[in-house]
Amino acid sequence: MINFLLLPILIPLITGVILIFFSKNIIAQRWISGISSLSTIAVSAILVQKIRQDGIQTLDVSSWDAPFGITLVSDMLSALLVLTTSIVACTTLIYSFRSIGQERERFYYYPCFNFLIVGVNGAFTTGDIFNLFVFFEVMLMASYALIVLGGTKIQLRESIKYLLVNIISSALFVITVAYLYSVVGTLNMAHISQRISEVDQPGIITVIAILFLVVFGLKGAVFPLSFWLPGSYNAPPIPVMALFGALLTKVGVYSIMRTYTLLFYHDTGYTSKILATLAILSIIFGLIGALAFADIKKIIIYNIIVAVGVILFGISVMTTDSLTGSVFYLIHDMLIKTTLFLLIGIIISITGTSKLQEISGLIKKYPGLAWTFFLSALSLAGIPPLSGFIGKLLIVKGGFEAGNYLGAAIVLISSLLILLSIMKIFINGFWGTPRSFEGEKKASVKTLMIAPIILIIISILLGVGAEAVYPYISQAAETLVKPEIYIDAVLKE
Amino acid sequence: MKTNDVILQTTTKIVLFIILIFSVFIFFTGHYTPGGGFIGGLLTSGAIVLLLLAFDLKTVKKILPFNYMYMIAAGLLFSIGTGAGAMLFNVPFLTHAYTHIDIPILGELSLHTATIFDLGVFLVVVGVTMTIIQTIGGDE
């Protein structure tokens, strides 16, 4: 079936629309969205397998040939990210069933959830720069609704900031696309890349590349543009926060990855220097935040910025190794950030607070929770048998090969400090004398634990079975290293 | 004190239909002349807003007893359905086609499936506009 690569976008879209009809029937909403997210996982897994066998899949929507219509392109990178997104979505959904609360469920929580997944999957799959903008907006509109849904004071305040920042960055995105269109006269990414290589990246293209970096940096929280993230991500309830932390910034990172490897790869001296500097600053800034706060939500939120920095550093180095590492780390990070957010959500639901000083001795009563948290903390820092290791190893290796010793060293040191910041939660929160907390409900913890346990198992498998996963990742990185593969697949030459 | 707005209400009753007919006209001519689902939908909701100005929220709800949220969802289903319908024939998503429909009085009409897509847009635009206005206007 030629429309197969569309299914991960279409299934959540139809689900979201159908759920509008059942908005008051919570049981039906849960069943329908649960089944649809499971089938999205199945479909995207088959898609990954299909690309492994047959190479890049393209679909010229509405039968218009490549540069003239919208083309959806699913190469290995997109397909893997779509698969990861589906897994993250499904587990977050399972977690939402027990934690989001009936009030929110009755006011279109699940339709918004599905539309967010449509936006993310669409942004990963599209091969058209303006279509990318549209999917960004689909994703952001849904995220505006999710961030404000519930209407508590902090949510209202932070959603205003979030909206303001994103509207400005979207306007800048449109302006940048307009600049690019006036230079190259096309919107199809493969065709843009071809046109740019014909004119050999003059100065104006470098300006546009930096503008894209600003736009996607605002979406993906790269250092000087990440000012909005700690506040905004602190506001919504935990499942929404997990979804945002795992998916939204990563779409920005993916877009930087795509534009910098597919479009602006001819004159990289200047752009990659800026990218590397911003990446290293993001790592440092994120680490300062992660170490400074004694609030478990804030620690994880600042760790997002660190991870964005690490991935971007891999992209800026532009060797095969570092790009492979970036792809691996991106996938690992989406999974592990969801796990961590869901776990601290459980901690908060037990203790009723996110302040680290008020929590201690949880390991006595909740050993399962404690050891799951311990594993995910080790995985986040990149301890060898777990999934965070290989990505970082390849990024560091790429950094040393390319002669960027300072950056690679900072990536290495960052692992240590990430470990420190996350072990601070483990040591203060789980060890020590047990306390009793208000609102302890042991039964609900067990059902909440399902989602993070599934995620940590996948994450461990990703690390232990790296040998089996590696061919997929390296196929994804191959398209990034050799953009001709992508261009040929889209323009069919 | 109740103001007497008989002139406004009488004019509305006449003007309303002119606006509605114009919006339908704009909707159907969208393929060959400026117009289409978006502007047609906005004109229709403009007509309903005029009704809201002349009468009140309750009366308008009695005249047009639609659930506008369902209207949005139905519109989306129309548009997605047009796109997904193409998949049944194993052509790319959203590939449009001519379809022939026999209507007893009008005879055989050659219709383009893009019209159904536009109908979806029309319904979504009317639904969204009216949801916004009714939600802001209503105070229950």
pLDDT (mean) for A255-281: 91
In chain A, the percentage of residues whose pLDDT exceeds 70 is: 99
CB pairs under 8 A between A and B: 45
Q: Radius of gyration of chain B from Cα atoms? A: 18
Pull the structure tokens for residue A91: 């587990």
Buried b (16+ CB within 10 A) or exposed e, A95-118: bbbbbbeeebbeebbbbbbbbbbb
Q: Per-residue pLDDT for A441 more than 80?
A: no
Q: How far apart are CA A207 and CA A186, in angstroms?
A: 18
Q: Look at residue B2 in the predicted model and tell me its pLDDT.
A: 66
pLDDT (mean) for A11-38: 93
- Decide if B93 and A14 are in contact by the 8 Å CB cutoff: no
Q: Which residue of A has its CA nearest to B97?
A: A62
Q: Look at residue A360 in the predicted model and tell me its pLDDT.
A: 86
In chain B, the percentage of residues whose pLDDT exceeds 90 is: 51
A128 φ/ψ angles, rounded to the nearest 5 degrees? -135, 130
Q: Look at residue B111 in the predicted model and tell me its pLDDT.
A: 79
Q: Look at residue A216 in the predicted model and tell me its pLDDT.
A: 95
Q: Per-residue pLDDT for A438 more than 90?
A: no
Contact residues, chain B, for A63 at CB < 8 Å: 91-92, 95
Min distance A1 CA to chain B CA atoms (Å): 7
Q: Which residue of A has its CA nearest to B80?
A: A14
Q: Per-residue pLDDT for A177 more than 80?
A: yes
Position A32, amino acid = I
Banded model confidence at residue A326, pLDDT cuts 50, 70, 90: very high
Q: Specify which of A135-144, A226-235, A385-394 reaches the highest per-range mean pLDDT.
A: A135-144
Model pLDDT for residues A337-369, shown as the tens digit of each residue = 999 999 999 999 888 888 888 888 888 888 899
Average pLDDT, chain B: 89
Q: Per-residue pLDDT for A39 more than 90?
A: yes
Pull the structure tokens for residue A38: 């499971």
- Decide if A20 and B80 are in contact by the 8 Å CB cutoff: no
Banded model confidence at residue B14, pLDDT cuts 50, 70, 90: very high
- Decide if B73 and A3 are in contact by the 8 Å CB cutoff: no
pLDDT (mean) for A55-60: 91
pLDDT (mean) for A438-465: 84
Min distance A378 CA to chain B CA atoms (Å): 44
Average pLDDT, chain A: 91
CB nearest to A21's CB, from B70, B91, B96: B70
pLDDT (mean) for A57-83: 91
Q: Look at residue A476 in the predicted model and tell me its pLDDT.
A: 92
Banded model confidence at residue B129, pLDDT cuts 50, 70, 90: very high
Give the DSSP H/E element, type plus range, for residue B93. Answer: none
Q: Which residue of B has its CA nearest to A16?
A: B73
- Decide if A13 and B91 are in contact by the 8 Å CB cutoff: no
- Decide if A62 and B87 are in contact by the 8 Å CB cutoff: no
Q: Look at residue B139 in the predicted model and tell me its pLDDT.
A: 65
Banded model confidence at residue B58, pLDDT cuts 50, 70, 90: confident
Contact residues, chain B, for A12 at CB < 8 Å: none
Q: Report the residue of B93, B95, B123 to disrupt the A interface, i.e. the one with the largest count of A CBs within 10 Å.
A: B93
Banded model confidence at residue B1, pLDDT cuts 50, 70, 90: low
Contact residues, chain B, for A8 at CB < 8 Å: none
Q: Per-residue pLDDT for B108 more than 80?
A: no
Q: Look at residue A63 in the predicted model and tell me its pLDDT.
A: 87
pLDDT (mean) for A159-170: 94
Q: Look at residue A443 in the predicted model and tell me its pLDDT.
A: 58
Q: Look at residue A353 in the predicted model and tell me its pLDDT.
A: 84
Q: Look at residue B140 in the predicted model and tell me its pLDDT.
A: 56
Q: Are A259 and A293 in contact (CB under 8 A)?
A: no
- Decide if A61 and B92 are in contact by the 8 Å CB cutoff: yes
Q: Per-residue pLDDT for A284 more than 90?
A: yes
Banded model confidence at residue A116, pLDDT cuts 50, 70, 90: very high
Lowest mean pLDDT, pick from A370-374, A403-407, B1-5: B1-5
Strand partners, A188: A128
Pull the structure tokens for residue A443: 């039964």
Whole-model pTM: value is: 0.94
Banded model confidence at residue B88, pLDDT cuts 50, 70, 90: confident
- Decide if B93 and A13 are in contact by the 8 Å CB cutoff: no
Min distance A71 CA to chain B CA atoms (Å): 10
- Decide if B80 and A62 are in contact by the 8 Å CB cutoff: no
SS (H, E, C) A333-385: HHHHHHHHHHHHHHHHHHHCCCEHHHCCCHHHHCHHHHHHHHHHHHHHHCCCC
Lowest mean pLDDT, pick from A20-29, A195-204, A321-330, B94-103: B94-103
Q: How far apart are CA B133 and CA B138, in angstroms?
A: 8
Q: Provide ipTM, 2 decimals.
A: 0.91
Pull the structure tokens for residue A336: 């592990």
Q: Per-residue pLDDT for A319 more than 60?
A: yes
Q: Look at residue A442 in the predicted model and tell me its pLDDT.
A: 60
Q: Which residue of A has its CA nearest to B87?
A: A3
Min distance B2 CA to chain A CA atoms (Å): 37
Banded model confidence at residue A439, pLDDT cuts 50, 70, 90: low
Q: Look at residue A103 in the predicted model and tell me its pLDDT.
A: 86
Q: Look at residue A77 in the predicted model and tell me its pLDDT.
A: 94
Lowest mean pLDDT, pick from A70-74, A138-142, A157-161, A429-433: A429-433
